[in-house]
Structure 1
């Protein structure tokens, strides 16, 4: 500021006005301002110039902001693309891409070979047509009445063999190109892979549901079979007690034998009850563990669905940005 103030103090007023006029002309001001108008402070002439300068400054500031926003947007897009590549590598889609890259290279090579082969065929066809025209001219001129039929037949046979070989080579190249295109069509796209994954998940859930239902049916069947056995034993026991009851009442030994038998039956029932109780406790522990695993699996499933949704959104954004960049 000190140097500028000293410079302005050294320059005279007329020189300052002339430099202002020259500076406005250099920056392309549409309003013509003279030094005399600056000197007398002509408002009508100075105001449009000041207004244009303010608008010019605002425009430059807006351009700077747009440039900064574009740089930030570009950095954001690059970060998103980097994250998408990392997710693709984690999901295993890189394997499919690695398989697809050599196939695309092979397709490009085959297409280049096909174009070269077609160009060679076109050159040969042109040569053959020129030879045919030349032969027709020779036949028409009759070569002093003598037609070289042997030479014509020999040339015709050679040309036909070359044409047949070229057709075979072209057919082989076409078959190779069709095979490569078929391999490319067999490689599933990203949307198809996502759909396959979803269908496999649904099939896995359905199989698990059927498996649980089958285990439940087997458990019910085993429980009913055990109840049936217990009821048969109970019926047999009641029939035995009923047949021995009258004899046990009339005889002291019979009563003692009946009491011992009943005590043995009670002990057996208690042991059976304890066994059933232990089995119930074990089943309860298994049930609690399965509940915990189910809760953890549900949380993991929700997380996977959230990640899948975010991945699909990022894929859509990436595809949109790719279309915009290609256009």
Structure 2
């Protein structure tokens, strides 16, 4: 019994839902039919629908209690609202996806716009710079350069358009070939386009090879220029020569000063040794004199010792004199060599001066 009652309630609810759906959804054709009705007929239709709705409602109230009916109505309203919320949520997600996609596209557009602005700004600055460099002397060259640049851009655009047209024509002919609809003229056109593309590829390969050779030649030229720049000029060579001469003079002066210090030190050391020897000799004579004078034998021995020491001193004096003469001879030889070197130096400076004068004369003659 309860199952039959529940089945009846479900059937009535379905009828009520269908009735409300019919009321909420009115097609354009139905609106036209309604407008064609007379007002009395329209009122009859409305009244008939209301009676049908009331009849279904009364049947539900008979089957169900008032509380169950209110609960059922509330449940139906909640389900409708839940469906509506789900549809709104789906629509909201679709709108969010559309917003994200639109935002990304807008960001890409803004990025491209910013790049174009920067490029335009650089172009404007470069144009201003070129205009600033324009003078009456180079105005003709700048006009020629501008014309060549315009011609280059035009040729690039023509090449791009020609390639696009060839690609479109090739695609069309390939489609016709796939559909077996090629005519003799189309086949000739396709062969001509393929020949043009092959020629273009060959020319591109030759162009790349020429660019590679040009880059290699440019590197070689840069390397040679760098090596040429590393070679000092005449002015730099003169400066280096003068710097080396100044350094040599400083080193030579320092060397002479050091030699003088060593010579003075050696001379004073030898003089000190001689003075020590003389002092020791005088002390020895003074200490042995009283003992030696006591008898004739010791006196004779003392005299012999003095004679031996005198002989040794005379030998040392002779050696010192021989060394002095050798040093004087060496000094004279060094002075002679120094004089010869001075003569060579004067001849070198004179030859250098004559060479510089001849170089200057050669440059003047070349300029004339």
Higher relative contact order structure (alpha carbons within 8 Å, sequence separation ≥ 6) = 1
Normalised by the size of structure 1, how large is the TM-score?
0.49
Normalised by the size of structure 2, how large is the TM-score?
0.44
